[in-house]
Amino acid sequence: MLHRPVIDGFDFALSRARLSGVWPIEDFPRLGPVLSSDARAVEYSLEGMPDTQDRPALHLRIRGALQLGCQRCLAPLEFPLRIHAVLVLARSQAEIDALAVEAEGPDWVVASKAMEVHELLEDELLLAVPYAPRHEHCAAQARAGAGAPASPFANLRGLLGTRETQARGKRS
Ligand SMILES: [Zn+2]
């Protein structure tokens, strides 16, 4: 059974605690639908440290790679992870809701006495996954690109091929 660390949010942040480890990707079921393989693990570290405005915060870093499926050719696609999320702690959801919406502002998270590190990790991984992952140099795209200018000839060849087949059919 995997050890599942739980932290006291404000205590962890204010005491500048640190935690790190390795977590198998198969243990993040919410990622399942976007993965082509869950046979890997991610390294993570969690550190209690104030944000740039001196508010209690958690710094979550994740390193590793996810095996996604390319939306164009459906082949596996390695998606490297280098996450550094700064999660500013709030005492309640109401406190977060009361904040003016800052598009470029920090991420807020409701702190509790028992925050599941697994949940923090899974949330950040889900945010990191692209909506429609594609290979930068996709084999399917390369084929489509090469085929487009040649298509008139390909069609002609196809027509000739059809006639030939029909002719042979009549002869036999
Ligand atoms: Zn592809």
Q: What spacing in Å lies between the alpha carbon of 137 and ligand 1's midpoint?
A: 7
**Does any domain span residue 1?**
no
Is the model's pLDDT at 91 over the cut of 80?
A: yes
Per residue in 92-129, pLDDT (tens digit) is 999 988 887 666 778 999 999 999 999 999 999 999 99
**Can you give the residue range of the structural domain that contains 76?**
6-135
Q: What spacing in Å lies between the alpha carbon of 72 and ligand 1's midpoint?
A: 5
The pLDDT assigned to 14 comes to 97
Per the structure, the count of domains in the chain is 2
The pLDDT assigned to 97 comes to 87
Assess whether 33 and 14 both reside in one domain. Answer: yes
Q: What spacing in Å lies between the alpha carbon of 83 and ligand 1's midpoint?
A: 24
Assess whether 111 and 167 both reside in one domain. Answer: no
Assess whether 126 and 153 both reside in one domain. Answer: no
Q: What spacing in Å lies between the alpha carbon of 24 and ligand 1's midpoint?
A: 25
Assess whether 91 and 104 both reside in one domain. Answer: yes
Question: Coil, strand, or helix at residue 59?
Answer: strand
Q: What spacing in Å lies between the alpha carbon of 119 and ligand 1's midpoint?
A: 30
Is residue 129 within 8 A of residue 68, CB to CB? The reply is yes
The pLDDT assigned to 148 comes to 45
Assess whether 121 and 104 both reside in one domain. Answer: yes
pTM of the model as a whole:
0.77
Cα separation, 166 vs 116, in Å, equals: 69
